[in-house]
Amino acid sequence: MNDITDPKPRISVIPVIVLVAMIVALIMAVLGGANGPILMAVVFVFAMAIGVPIPFAAGIATVAGLIIADIPMTLMAQAAWTAFEPFPLVTIPLFILAGQLMEQGGMSEKLVNIAQKLVGAYKGGLGLVTVVACMFFAALSGSGPATTAAIGSITIPAMQAEGYRSRFAGAIAASAGALGSMIPPSNLLIIFALVTDVSIPRLFLAGIVPGIVLGLMLMVVVFVISLKNDYGGTGEKFRWGPLLTAFWEGKWAVMAPVIILGGIYAGIFTPSEAAGVAVAYGLFVGMFIYRGLTWAKLFHAFKFTAIVIGSVLFILGSTKAFGQLVTIFDIPSSVLALFQGLVAYPWLVMLLIGVFYIIVGMWLESIPQIIIFTAVFFPLVTSLGVDPVVFGIFTVMTCEIGFLTPPIGVNLFVAARISKISIEEISVGVLPLLIPYGLMILLLVFYSDWVTYLPNLVYGPTR
């Protein structure tokens, strides 16, 4: 029984006042003939500002837009259905599950061991190992946060034990883990392909070289900082023997991306079928080769996949209707008119979009960011002659920066939890590691032909 001296539960009046104010403002705006897109934007931003989760905020803004446009509310259900209907969407949960099976089954340890023998003896060796291992695991997981967790959980404690500053160790894992969203298979590239109807295999091929180049630039920054602070390095000379031994011991882990991506580009199976093959391969290797998969770990892998894909589908369903309203209100044409004076300078338009994406990415999760704003900017950039594949890589690259910037920097939260430091501290540590991402954005804007070289070589030019 509760103590009679306890105060009675109080219902906070602030949310009620805010809700009433929003309803009144919406009614007044509708009666006054308010501009639909502007009101949608205001409702969306205001809802997020008071702490409404992003999918719900998009849903509230969509309801406001439907009321103004006098469109039946059934559009939301229809939009959600069309969002879930495309068969390639099945690749996302399958690749998530495959990444979990490979992580839980012991592949991440094998990849770290290979990276250790490759670059571990140099100054900042464990930092370099983290970047290289993340590049390897990115070709298995398709997810930035998953790559950060899988590799960071092994290398961050090791770096801390070797004297690395905790915020630097966590920052390396966070920044290198973001490569999981660029190096194929990438869940964000799949989402972009579903929104724009751009070929998934083309996007996958286009992501390989930028992912590798970005990884190399991250290694340079890690090496310079480690050299300055005297972090790690045994001084041993590189030897082929230990590396080849590590490759042989980890051959099943190394073969995973070869089978998955090689099968796609050899025409043996589609990306969706490749995701199924990845799950079967991860399950077989984890249970019968490395024997790291237990029933408990298997249950955890399925549970994690269910939670992640559930949130992804919820976000996809609510933001799909928002994106359709963007088209109904002809917002892309308005944006095109807004940039009409800059059509002679596509590079400037791309830079402005990049700055916008980076700022939005600090507050918005990557999936809704891609779904909502691709519908706005994709028609604009393609009308300016920007290759759709280049814009897909550009979009995902800005999302990777969003993984590394507070307050909603998912990779930062993952790495901070492993490092046992605050999000503020790791945010400071990641600043120098953002330099390669900024340079990559500039390369994509001013010199983009190298991005489409592999897709055009394999599938021929698109135009």
Three-state secondary structure string covering 220-262:
HHHHHHHHHHCCCCCCCCCCHHHHHHHHHHCHHHHHHHHHHHH
Separation between Cα atoms, residue 54 and residue 35, nearest integer Å: 22
Query: pLDDT above 70 covers what percent of the chain?
Result: 89
The mean pLDDT value of the chain amounts to 81
Give the confidence band of 10 by pLDDT, cuts at 50, 70, 90: very low
- 376 versus 463: the higher-pLDDT residue is 376
Separation between Cα atoms, residue 184 and residue 210, nearest integer Å: 11
Separation between Cα atoms, residue 322 and residue 324, nearest integer Å: 5
Separation between Cα atoms, residue 402 and residue 23, nearest integer Å: 32
Separation between Cα atoms, residue 160 and residue 419, nearest integer Å: 8
Separation between Cα atoms, residue 365 and residue 370, nearest integer Å: 9
CB atoms within 10 A of CB 54: 21
Q: Strand, helix or coil at 269?
A: coil
pLDDT score of 52: 74
Is residue 37 scored above 90 in pLDDT?
Answer: no
Residue pair 140/102 in contact (Cβ under 8 Å)? The answer is: yes
Separation between Cα atoms, residue 82 and residue 317, nearest integer Å: 8
Alpha helix stretches (DSSP H) within 85-165: 91-104, 107-119, 125-141, 144-161
Q: How far is CA 282 from the centre of its chain?
A: 22
Question: Of the candidates 247, 132, 122, 250, which has an alpha carbon nearest to the alpha carbon of residue 183?
Answer: 132
pLDDT score of 394: 95
Is residue 18 scored above 60 in pLDDT?
Answer: no
Separation between Cα atoms, residue 463 and residue 387, nearest integer Å: 9
Q: What is the pLDDT of residues 203-221, one digit of tens each?
A: 999 999 999 999 999 999 9
pLDDT score of 50: 75
pLDDT score of 436: 94
pLDDT score of 443: 93
Residue type, 244: L
pTM of the model: 0.81
Helix then strand count (H, E) for the chain reads 23, 0
Give me the sign of the Cα torsion angle 186, 192, 193, 195: positive
Structure tokens given for 377: 């900017």
Question: Of the candidates 146, 214, 403, 185, which has an alpha carbon nearest to the alpha carbon of residue 278?
Answer: 185
- 105 versus 434: the higher-pLDDT residue is 434
Is residue 313 scored above 90 in pLDDT?
Answer: no
- In the chain, the N- to C-terminal Cα span, in Å, equals 75
pLDDT score of 25: 58
Give the confidence band of 3 by pLDDT, cuts at 50, 70, 90: very low
CB atoms within 10 A of CB 329: 18
Residue pair 168/63 in contact (Cβ under 8 Å)? The answer is: no
- 457 versus 55: the higher-pLDDT residue is 457
Is residue 36 scored above 70 in pLDDT?
Answer: no
Q: How far is CA 349 from the centre of its chain?
A: 23
Give the confidence band of 418 by pLDDT, cuts at 50, 70, 90: confident
Give the confidence band of 2 by pLDDT, cuts at 50, 70, 90: very low
Quick one: average pLDDT of 389-407? 87
Give the confidence band of 225 by pLDDT, cuts at 50, 70, 90: very high
Question: Of the candidates 196, 192, 198, 179, which has an alpha carbon nearest to the alpha carbon of residue 370?
Answer: 192
pLDDT score of 9: 42
When mean pLDDT is compared across 44-48, 94-98, 330-334, the lowest value belongs to: 330-334
pLDDT score of 13: 53
Quick one: average pLDDT of 385-395? 93
pLDDT score of 26: 57
Residue pair 71/40 in contact (Cβ under 8 Å)? The answer is: no
Q: What is the pLDDT of residues 148-186, one digit of tens each?
A: 888 888 888 888 888 888 999 999 999 998 888 888 888
Is residue 246 scored above 90 in pLDDT?
Answer: no
**Residue located via tokens 């999760």:** 365
Residue pair 229/171 in contact (Cβ under 8 Å)? The answer is: no
Q: Name residues whose C-beta falls within 8 Å of residue 351's C-beta, 6 or more positions apart in sequence.
A: 445
The region that residue 461 occupies, defined by phi over 0 for left and psi between -120 and 50 for alpha, beta otherwise, is: beta
pLDDT score of 340: 72
